[in-house]
Structure 1
């Protein structure tokens, strides 16, 4: 069976974008793939994390996986730091990747900003650790958002170069999986910006632990516009609105896209149902579908994080199973590279 690897950073405040862009898709993949889902705590510390918060956030992501429907018996769920193969393989990949490749990584430039000299080496080397995450399990596919596509391309380059350097087909050339219309969920306050936990306004995002009242209030206050909802004739052959129209009404199309994703329908169906209506009516319907989908998940996450023993057991069991997969791969790599092992 083909193998999936993916992970979510434990940086707190999981929101609707995390759910629609990643976690919900993880659930659906379990039927057709051998799935390995990681809480990437080693990636998280590339920028400063409060240790106590990191523990809590690791449990929160695990609880979100479980509450959303990832089956820990069918899939492997673990936190990255419990499996040393990630760090060991990352060092080898640091010696395979070229400096020029790393210098082209746009996400480092965005995160480091103007203070690049003060950024951690870990933040710079983040993509080689991501390659190790994936290739330690010889994953055939990785579900990625647009912001991670470049890193997956680097993973492919590293696999190809390693295989070529040593004349052995050790690693697969991993393929991306990109999902649906809501892989990029935008802020509820500014439709031109991605939904983010770092936004100073709590009303910019719906978190996965928001209760029904909080969800309703945030949707009610969400920025829309005064125009009526158009019909499906504005969509192109690809089922998407013209880019110029989307740029002209970013908040409107953000809310419409969120509704389509939560209701699991095409955007055209949403436009047919709400054509000619204003956003006051539409927001009531969006609230209902959001509460219906997110309410049970939030309640289950709260139950799991309030009594974390089960969460910790899932992580320990998953880490043991992950090591069983990764350790033979690491042994093979060490033999190919020429490392002596006991």
Structure 2
């Protein structure tokens, strides 16, 4: 199998827990929409199986799953160009996830920093799913022989684990080349959007104050208010990006402006060098309203008709299975399972 070639294919997903934030949009969805016009096949997922690694109220999970799908669609994801579905509709994710549980090593899981961060001091009380979910994430990717995975910096470690699992499977079962070694794709400004009240912390769905984040469901007035009240420092903007090195709140707002305007942070600094926050923050607020308010309006329209969302997800799942089922079947064959 060493001569196996793989179709260039992108896979990525967003977990339906809490709500979508500007971080999800700039760090993921906006890039997903841009990538669907490339020559690569694009598969995007609402990873609802990952959501239940911690307790989810069933009604909240239903709502959040549809809301993430609405966020994809309202941002411009075209289900005719990309495959869009929710993970639990394609049983191959869970099946391959179990097979990979038997390939991955406990030591690999113990190195996963996100489990340590999420579990904190109560690791013994966390679900087995939370501990093992990087193995399921590997299955999400490799079930489609995906070659590229758009991720934030904090998820790069999971793509590296996916490569380790693929390599070990290929070696152990003498199936070199069967599973590709996917590449993480991390690019552009604002790949990691930070808290509007504390630039040293990532923007989070679960932050204490709603003013810390931009929700993708926020209307124009809320978006403008949050940016105008975002924490800054007393100094004007410098004449070069390096001048923001020790100014996390300032750097975050410049990065967000760059990402929303499809330019570079250096270009933003050039334009606003010497400007005070009384000039920059209103300009950022206007830009954000222009870019984000139409998305929140379309999300509201879609959420008013959940049947439309469900039909889109079901159709996407049918297309996903067409790719996944032959790969999963071949995986069972390689491992020696008696089937059929």
* TM-score, length basis structure 2: 0.96
> How big is each residue's C-alpha offset from its partner over 1:201-248, in whole Å with a ceiling of 9 and x where there is no partner?
00000111111110111111110111111113xx4xxxxx26xx52x3
CA contact (8 A) 1:86 1:132 kept: yes
1:1-342 alignment runs, 5 A limit: 1-32=7-38, 33-168=40-175, 169-232=177-240, 235=241, 241=242, 245-246=244-245, 248-342=246-340
Residue 12 of structure 1: CA displacement? 2.6
1:238 corresponding residue in structure 2:
none
Structure 2: tracts of 5 or more residues without a match: 1-6
Q: How many residues align?
A: 332
Q: CA separation in 1, counterparts of 2:42 and 2:295?
A: 21
Q: CA RMSD in A?
A: 0.9
SS state of the match for residue 96, structure 2? Answer: helix
CA contact (8 A) 2:148 2:182 kept: yes
SS state of the match for residue 7, structure 1? Answer: strand
> How big is each residue's C-alpha offset from its partner over 1:145-187, in whole Å with a ceiling of 9 and x where there is no partner?
1111111111000000000011113100111111212101100
Residue 266 of structure 1: CA displacement? 1.2
Q: CA separation in 2, counterparts of 1:153 and 1:298?
A: 34
SS state of the match for residue 192, structure 2? Answer: coil
CA contact (8 A) 1:25 1:179 kept: no
SS state of the match for residue 264, structure 1? Answer: coil
Q: CA separation in 2, counterparts of 1:337 and 1:268?
A: 52
Give 4+ residue runs of structure 1 displaced > 6 Å after superposition: none
* TM-score, length basis structure 1: 0.95
SS state of the match for residue 218, structure 2? Answer: coil
CA contact (8 A) 1:23 1:65 kept: yes
CA contact (8 A) 1:12 1:60 kept: no
Residue 130 of structure 1: CA displacement? 0.2
Q: CA separation in 2, counterparts of 1:277 and 1:333?
A: 58
Structure 1: tracts of 5 or more residues without a match: 236-240
